[in-house]
Chains A and B, each alone.
Chain A
């Protein structure tokens, strides 16, 4: 986790310049140099360099291997709202089929731009709290799938707090939990956000590159979710595999 930087709010010019620099890099495309940015924005060179180094330090920007060119870093994706994706009819049919196989809730979340958004919450069951899911991904099975995919999950987690007595909040324990998620391709939480609810989620990966694109989850009563549930997990994996070509 990164400590928040105290910002006095008295540097409106610096903030504005930083946004201009970001915008300039987006429009010029990857590879643009500091000098080019400073010229096209008519910004003093020293200021431009300082802002660029700051944005690189914060990982919104990266330097290309020649060290003179800049491009947007992965973190910049988090500035954009994920495109509101709705499932195609074909994908929806697969999800509905899954719903027919179980009495539990079936939810689908997309991980576009490393942000979690529920694209198909189960209409007949209580859906997870979307805001909480985005802010406290470590307490949700769907969130853990995304965190387990990161080189360092701390980059996506702002603050870790307990919701119930069962919430895993210690760093080493989360480390272990997420390693297990990555190993098994299965995330599970039992009563960690709400005492009486738990869920199991499996990843949906792009068939070509294996990239994590979405997750499908079963939500039910804590005690039942904690059971091995081998059969229903197999069914869930089967549906995830069928969704993969429809979502990627």
Chain B
């Protein structure tokens, strides 16, 4: 039976065409960190969490970090064993039915697409704020739309030119961003609590209570979305089985530490203020204003712009790879599976996706929809997509291990804990945001229709969903090879 191993091997990888085994560990790590975009969440999320968790805000973040690490653990069960380009759906396909993988693919497309658009909106928003801080001139709507289109164009060009180039830009931008955030928050911590910050409408910080802390986990967990982006670069990483699981795990840990730190600084900063952190619209700016540090928001805005630009690059890279992989599966149009001969990137998938993720926000901006509202809606919907994809991959992990005969009890235990929690989080997320829930419901119906159509028209493509970078004949050492 074992003699025909060679017959079972393909001579070419199904994801051939991408630049195989080129990215270094640091470059993949940077992509994942940028996907999570911790800078933006450090500034904005603690105040949102504080609305329900109050003084327990930090604990909500600690719990969310533990959950993110558990998800990272489930993802690592796959990424230590296979290298894929389609991200979570390619992994899910190895454990769940094609329907599960298809749902994961749609959830990932939704998540990455919206996150890419959201990052663009964020970058424009804070660039506007930066100009406002510096020259008191935010520029008009048209100016902002032009800026946004230029950033989108730049993102497209970089992603098209190759994973390596954009990974380096991402690494640089994200390093600057996190450094700036650490400077900002360290200064605030050193400055002590603000005695006379503007009190919010709430008369007192809500008493934490277990319920409050648990409710706070919801937005806190949403701050981690995008941390799994390294999984879509499996094919292109030098030592994928080591670098990808590490990148995802370390990103969860790093983001967790940054969030806990940021939450602690802000809770402490507003500890002397009636109403506390809860309900502060721009807590960092408010704290800086009390201290008379008018220049601090400039650093903050610069860090946020960098972070959003990096996030846009990382998500656009991942989005194109999901489309590419789906095309190689036979599920998405065949053209998306083509790769550029010189740049070794899925150029048609990039050309199909980036104009959409750029064009939609530009049009929304041009017709006068307020950007902050767009950002919140887009990020909420994206979070739902990601949570669904995490839920599916965590459920798939033990099934996958069982299938290949490597199941251990910790794998079962972790999934048994994390899957119900993610399910509750997802349901709570949808229920508490009726608008997003309705939109998601519509998308789910469309997705189901697509699935049924696919099952009728291309059942074999659907059955084989989830291509990955298989071992090929060239990778295996056969007896005759050594004796040349």
Contact = CB atoms under 8 A, between A and B. Distances in A.
Interface stretch (B40-48, B325-333, B403-411): B403-411
A73 to B, nearest CB: 6
B482 A67 contact: no
A46 B408 contact: yes
Nearest to A2: B239
Interface string B93-134: 010000000000000000000000000000000000000000
B20 A65 contact: no
A71 B408 CA distance: 22
Residue from the set B2, B406, B481 with the largest chain A CB neighbour count within 10 Å: B406
Given A68-B405, A112-B482, A152-B22, A73 B475 contact: yes
A164 interface: no
A74 B476 contact: yes
B241 interface: yes
A213 interface: yes
Contact of A83 (B3, B470, B483): B483
Contacts of B471: 62-65, 71
B238 A151 contact: no
A216 to B, nearest CB: 15
Interface stretch (B5-13, B67-75, B265-273): B5-13
A64 B82 CA distance: 10
Given A46-B408, A53-B81, A152-B22, A71 B484 contact: no
B341 interface: no
Contacts of B242: 57-58
Given A63-B82, A65-B8, A77-B482, A29 B238 contact: no
Nearest to B78: A67
B1 interface: yes
Given A34-B405, A56-B81, A77 B2 contact: no
A31 B1 contact: yes
Contact of A49 (B9, B10, B94, B406): B406
Given A62-B475, A76-B477, A113-B482, A53 B404 contact: no
A213 to B, nearest CB: 5
Contacts of A82: 482
A117 B1 CA distance: 36
B484 A111 contact: yes
A30 B9 CA distance: 11
A71 B406 contact: no
Nearest to A248: B484
A182 to B, nearest CB: 15
Nearest to B475: A62
A45 interface: yes
Nearest to B6: A30
A34 B239 contact: no
Contacts of A35: 405-406
